[in-house]
Amino acid sequence: MIFTQDQFEAYEDAFNNATDKSAFFDKYYNPDAVFVHPYKGTFKGKDRLVGFWNSGKNSGHDGIHEVLHLKNFVSIEDKLAVELDIEWRCFKDTDYLGPRKAGDVFWGHCAAFKYNLWNGG
């Protein structure tokens, strides 16, 4: 199955706008999905991933709203590679990737790879 850029942009929009990432996870991921973060570790399964992505108290993104910005996209069969700029907006003081103050905005650059695409296509 080929994953198109339009489909990825819909994924990006859903991620950027989901307050609770539970339904987002169900739509796009296999229940045993694994996400490897270079600084925060490896997260496997819905509970761990959603807990990391959400921005509420005791979540992985406590005090942060993360926004994905697609830069480059390649998809072949069931494989996908994307290059993203990631915008982190601080809505309260936080220690996410270092001490940050409410109102701060900081950016990262990321490459992501996915094989055997999501839950049902």
| Mean of per-residue pLDDT scores for the chain | 87
**47-92 pLDDT tens trace:** 998 988 887 776 778 889 999 999 999 998 778 899 999 999 999 9
What is the model's pLDDT at position 115?
62
Amino acid type, 121: G
Class of domain 5-115: alpha beta
Mean pLDDT for the stretch of residues 23-45: 88
Taking alpha carbons only, the member of 3, 100, 11 closest to residue 55 is 100
Cα separation, 7 vs 17, in Å, equals: 15
Rounded percentage of the chain residues whose pLDDT exceeds 90: 49
| Domain edges within the chain | 5-115
What pLDDT score was predicted for residue 84?
Answer: 95
- The strand ranges marked E within the chain are 34-37, 41-44, 64-76, 79-90, 105-115
pTM (2 d.p.)? 0.84
Q: What is the mean pLDDT of residues 87-112?
A: 92
**If you average pLDDT over residues 24-52, what whole number do you get?**
88
| pLDDT for 121 | 46
